[in-house]
Amino acid sequence: MSDFRKLKVWRKAFALALTTHRLAQGVRGAAYFSLRSQLVRAAMSIPANIAEGREQNSERGFARFLRHALASAAELENHYLIARGMGVIPRAGCDSAISQTIEVKKMLHGLINSLGPDRPQAPSP
């Protein structure tokens, strides 16, 4: 495949991971450790899965990792909604990050769809 850094969706996901890290640093208190950790882990997983998938030897393999990235993006959106509901991240920052997340999800859907339908692989002999 080719350089993952050339993919617009990877660049957007990378920016989202940096935004999330910055916002998560503002979440203070031991009671919120788990939420802080989950935000960062989910956000970092998105560009990581795109990068790992780009190195696969087939479009099918790439699409599989893109679906993992999409699942992490959905998880991240959920964590942001929880953080907003709890009031631990300022609403404006949370809303902006959710918008970024939705944009990345749409891009991932588009890229997955462009790779073709998910056909089951024939069993190995």
Whole-angstrom distance, CA of residue 103 vs CA of residue 64 = 19
Q: What pLDDT shows up at residue 2?
A: 73
Segment 49-68 shows an average pLDDT of 95
Burial class (CB in 10 A: 0-12, 13-18, 19+), 30: exposed
Segment 21-45 shows an average pLDDT of 96
Contacts of 109 (CB under 8 A, 6+ apart): 70
- Global pTM value: 0.90
Say whether pLDDT at 98 is over 60.
Answer: yes
Question: What's the gap between Cα 5 and its chain centre?
Answer: 15
Say whether pLDDT at 6 is over 80.
Answer: yes
Q: Domain spanning 4-114: which CATH class is it, in words?
A: mainly alpha
Q: 118 pLDDT band (50/70/90 cuts)? A: low
Contacts of 81 (CB under 8 A, 6+ apart): 98
For 16, the token pair is: 């989202």
Q: What pLDDT shows up at residue 53?
A: 96
The domain locations on the chain are: 4-114
Q: What pLDDT shows up at residue 120?
A: 43
Segment 43-63 shows an average pLDDT of 96
For 79, the token pair is: 């964590």
Say whether pLDDT at 122 is over 90.
Answer: no
**Lowest mean pLDDT, pick from 58-72, 78-92, 110-124:** 110-124
